[in-house]
Amino acid sequence: MKAGMTPEQVLVALGQPRTRGADGFEYCTASGAQTVTFVNGKVARTS
């Protein structure tokens, strides 16, 4: 996952998210939830 990726690129790389919000996706991982936040249609950060 890199900053600047589009939502479509994230879906191809990681598959369907657990949830989709207005500004990001949330994925379940072995170490807990991973949130991908989009700003202006591009990945801005993950947490």
How do residues 30-47 score in pLDDT, each as one tens digit?
999 999 999 999 999 999
pTM exceeding 0.75: yes
Determine the average pLDDT of the residues in 14-23: 95
Measured CA to CA, the distance from residue 6 to residue 16 in angstroms comes to: 14
Determine the average pLDDT of the residues in 2-26: 95
Instruction: pLDDT band for 1, please (50, 70, 90 cuts).
Output: confident
CB 4 within 8 A of CB 14: no
Measured CA to CA, the distance from residue 13 to residue 11 in angstroms comes to: 5
